[in-house]
Amino acid sequence: MSLKISLSSLLFFYFVFFISSHYKETDASMASKNGNVYIVYMGDNKNNNDMLLNSLLRRNKNALVYRYKNGFSGFAARLTDLEVRQLSEHPGVVSVFPDPMLQLHTTRSWDFLQYETSVLIYSQPRFNAPLLASKGSDTIIGILDTGIWPESESFRDTGMDLIPSRWKGKCMDGENFTSSDCNKKLIGARYYKDEDSDTKIQSARDQIGHGTHVASTAAGVSVENASYYGLANGAARGGSPTSHIAMYRVCFSDGCPGSAILAAFDDAIADGVDLLSLSLGASSAFTPDFSTDPIAIGAFHAVQKGITVLCSAGNDGPSPQSVVNVAPWIITIAATTIDRDLQSDVVLGNNKVIKGESINFSELGNSPKYPLISGVAAKTKSATEDEARNCYPDSIDAEKIKGKIVLCQHPDKSRYSMRAKLTVVKNGGGVGIIIINDKTRLVASNSGTFPMTVITTEDSAEILAYMNATENSVATILATKTVPTFKPAPTLAYFSARGPSAGLNNLLKPDIAAPGVNILAAWIANDKSGETTPEGKEPPEFNLLSGTSMACPHAAGIAANIKSQNPTWSPAAIRSSMITTAIQTNNLKQPITTQTGEDATPYDFGAGEVSPTGGIQPGLVYDIDPTDYLQFLCYYGYDTSTIKLIAAQLPSGFSCPKNSSADMISNINYPSIAVSINATTGPVTVKRTVTNVDNDEATIYTVLIDKPAGLEVNVSPNQLKFTADANKLSYEVTFSPPSSVKGNMFGAVTWTNNKYKVRSPFVVSLNGV
């Protein structure tokens, strides 16, 4: 049995830089993409680790790549096929698998989140909750990514608290990076060698920018007048500006080796981080098992040690079953837009203005004087009309587009990227390009100084009507401007991966959504690539990126604030507080939608948009004992002997139920509910337990049920009466489906005491569909 636990590819070309998505073969006979490196995972079984490793090194002293000994046991090594088979059969080994190459999931957002929480959802800020936690946080956020640019203003340590005494990590010396580059903000920086990578720099210094961007989003200090060459101007700050940062550089230009990711997890557990944020992984097209996915393995052991782990949901949306990082011990983050539009308009010769989206520094001017032509009107003799309409390479006659603005279609499954089509027009002598695509309209593509904008199909009809009615049609493309208070916002980003989890209908993923579109954050100071630094300009100090990569650190910053205010809470309690206080309403006071205008469902955004402050005081939490995750592994299909290897410290007498099944996963004490009902099973009942975490020990909560027509939902009891002696109470929910309906039905169970609203979304999958 396998599960989609890997992560998604970087983004598309317009999210700053492109890395092709790929994943290692999982068959033990196949060579790993990282040479012939294999990961030997031994769970918590430390007894046989030294013996196996010493035996291996006696045969080949250069075989070892990494050794895992802090949070879990095992090693990564260069192995022959025979050694792979022998180790796989060893009784102390959970799994042996090729080293996978995972990929990255790649300001105003915090102001917008606060506005959503305090204005739209409540008549006043949540009871006793600060607008943004700003003082008293000694939380340590560990980030696994491409490294960090320590000189960025976002990582100043002015006014920062002292480094917590529990911190055991270090700041590694490396190329162009020394321990003096760390401070009270950036307290740790490690890097992991990858001799097979194209990147030769062995250092924690970021050469790509992704890690710097996510680190400043999670915990950067406030920097006034930040912008991307004047766009999105304002104060850029992280979600938890008083938290400390520990960077673990595990990614290179060609990806993120699983062996390095596991080494970083192992170090981070020993170093003393409170949270770990990962915006990386493989494509949703691949489904490694829990025991062969480095992120699922590392996160499991981190959570067992009390460390909260948050991961991006992936960028393979809007396809269903594309969500990744679906292990129940991981907080999985989807991406939404904010109320800032990066608008590049098209002005037609009849003075009509068509709103478009892009990042460009066009110098065409405001006057519509440049001839317009469609791709199909400029086709070469050898090209088909469809190829020319889509502006494919070798389909456009350069003589026909010289000095003109070209209108190009860009279907969702285009054979070529928008960057490739821009290159076709630019190399052919065109002066600008208008691209038609509905989904990317709200995600700004960066074309530098070349005039480019993206418009919707609906707006393209007006341009085509003008061109057909005018013999000498002309237009211009305006340079990008920032449009504030854009509505509706948030909407779910089209690229954000969707549920349900493949093969796991009884666990709702993603968990929650956070801003991930056109996010301004710190950048590396030596980036002279044409996709980031326009011609003739110095590299930017801040950059605008989109992706679930950007959503994950937003959630991590919020989780850090919750942890700082509630230091004894478990990772499950922190996740619960974020889920039950989420927002489902946009700035039009209407339900949050997808970019196609349909109401978003829990399969799109989990519980909704994360609240920056509501989780600090949620009223009730759904806690999970770490050993409950072992029961999940039973329900998922692992046997007792394998689980004993994964987690050495088992409850006395632990064993998997004889009747373990996937349906039993619905009863894990998760803050959301997912059940599968077949026509023959009838009603299904699940149990949940909530803990009162408010100072008011004596309080009564009453249930509210939001359910779709035709679905019967009963909650028993309908009141929860907490006292000083009873701060933990249970209830049951029974779902009775209609007899003739198939598909998915969504709703919520909310407990309220007129001070707090504790909302749990649910999804009922009828007939397993």
- Just list the catalytic residues: 145, 210, 549
Half-sphere exposure of residue 709: CA atoms within 13 angstroms, side-chain side: 0
Rg of the chain's alpha carbons, rounded to an integer? 26
Distance CA 299, CA 307 (A): 8
Alpha carbon distances (Å) from 169 to 267, 320, 423, 520, 686:
8, 40, 46, 29, 43
What angle in degrees, to the nearest 10, is found between the helix axes of 294-304 and 258-271?
10
First-residue to last-residue Cα distance in the chain: 19
Helices (H), 78-117: 81-88, 108-115
3-class SS at 702? strand
3-class SS at 446? strand
What is the CA 56 to chain-centroid distance, rounded? 38
Distance CA 277, CA 196 (A): 25
3-class SS at 94? coil
Name 433's bridge partners: 406, 452
Distance CA 715, CA 482 (A): 48
If residue 432 lies in a helix (H) or strand (E), which one and from where to where? strand 432-436
Let me know: does 28 contact 83? Beta carbons within 8 Å: no
Distance CA 762, CA 416 (A): 39
Cβ count near 16 (within 10 Å):
23
Let me know: does 299 contact 311? Beta carbons within 8 Å: yes
SS3 sequence of 449-499: CCCEEEECHHHHHHHHHHHHHCCCCEEEECCCEEECCCCCCCEECCCCCCC
What is the CA 191 to chain-centroid distance, rounded? 22
What is the CA 525 to chain-centroid distance, rounded? 25
Cβ count near 608 (within 10 Å):
27
- On the question of a cis peptide bond just before residue 488, with omega within 30 degrees of 0, the verdict is yes
Of residues 264, 280, 46, 277, the one with CA closest to residue 169: 264
Distance CA 537, CA 11 (A): 25
Q: Which residue has the tokens 């640019």?
A: 149
Distance CA 577, CA 562 (A): 8
Let me know: does 675 contact 635? Beta carbons within 8 Å: no
Pairing of strands 346-348, 353-354: antiparallel
Let me know: does 430 contact 364? Beta carbons within 8 Å: no
